[in-house]
Amino acid sequence: MRKSLAAISAAMLILLAAPAAASAAPVPNAAEVQPEPVQTDDGYTPTEPRTPTLAGSTAVGECEHDVPWIHFSVTLVDPDSISTGHTARLVLSDGTHSTTVELGELQDNHLEGSVLWPGASVDSRGVADGWPGWEFVGGQWVETDGNFRWTRGAITASIQVNPELAVALSYPPTTPLCATDPRGGSLPATGVSAAVVPLGIAGGVIVVLGVVLVAVRRRARGRL
């Protein structure tokens, strides 16, 4: 009988202790409870817009009829139409100086054409009458540190639209057929291309020879 009472008492103590233990168990913090990911059935996955580029665009320095030009071709690749600009510019720099050459507005994301090299100029007929690093003083051409002379050295160049693209660009060299400096350094600023001077000299020689030949013939006739 005593053993039965002892067993009943022990069972009652266990039953009474169970609620207390349950109340003492830690309750998870609401902030620590992570929501279950929501699964969707539409199969849609957001994608980042593709970055626009100027890949394939070029700018090249060339000499034509003693005039230094920059020929350019600009193509904007913008498949998601996120570019905020359509005005093309060419920026030149030597680390100390910089200049911006306006190229124009893109049409259907493309633009190509030619612009004079900074410091170069032509007259109303398109004949060269100015070159970077030169000025006409006292009846002759003299070199100067001004007039964009720095663009003839080591420079960097970039085409800018938004985005931008670095391009390899350098001042075109003088060749036997095309001068990117005043020929001889003393060509008068008359608007006559230096390339015409040799032709004028040759024409003058022909005229002189003609006069001499006529004089010789007249003298020969007088002797007869």
pLDDT tens sequence across 106-134: 999 999 999 999 999 999 999 999 999 99
Q: How far is CA 127 from the centre of its chain?
A: 27
- pLDDT tier at 33 (50, 70, 90 boundaries)? low
Q: Does residue 36 register a pLDDT over 70? A: no
- pLDDT tier at 205 (50, 70, 90 boundaries)? very low
**Cis omega (within 30 of 0) on the bond before 163?**
yes
Q: Which residues contact 82 (CB under 8 A, 6 or more apart)?
A: 49, 51, 52
Contact 59, 70 (CB under 8 A): yes
Question: What per-residue confidence (pLDDT) applies to 37?
Answer: 54
And the tokens for 58? 């070029």
Side-chain half-sphere CA neighbours of 127 within 13 A: 11
Question: Minimal CA–CA distance to 145: which of 94, 77, 100?
Answer: 94
- pLDDT tier at 27 (50, 70, 90 boundaries)? low
Predicted confidence (pLDDT) per residue in 39-81, tens digit = 555 666 667 889 999 999 999 999 999 999 999 999 999 999 9
Q: How far apart are the first and last CA of the chain?
A: 181
Q: Does residue 15 register a pLDDT over 70? A: no
And the tokens for 220? 């020969």
Q: How far is residue 18's CA from residue 166's CA, in Å, rounded to a whole number?
A: 77
Q: Which residues contact 51 (CB under 8 A, 6 or more apart)?
A: 82, 163
Q: How far is residue 196's CA from residue 84's CA, in Å, rounded to a whole number?
A: 48
* CA atoms 111, 117, 121, 127: torsion sign: negative
> Which letter does DSSP use for residue 151 in this model?
G
Q: How far is residue 123's CA from residue 192's CA, in Å, rounded to a whole number?
A: 9
- Per-residue burial over 99-116, b = 16 or more CB atoms within 10 Å of its CB, e = otherwise: eebebeebeebebeeebb
Averaged confidence pLDDT in the chain: 78
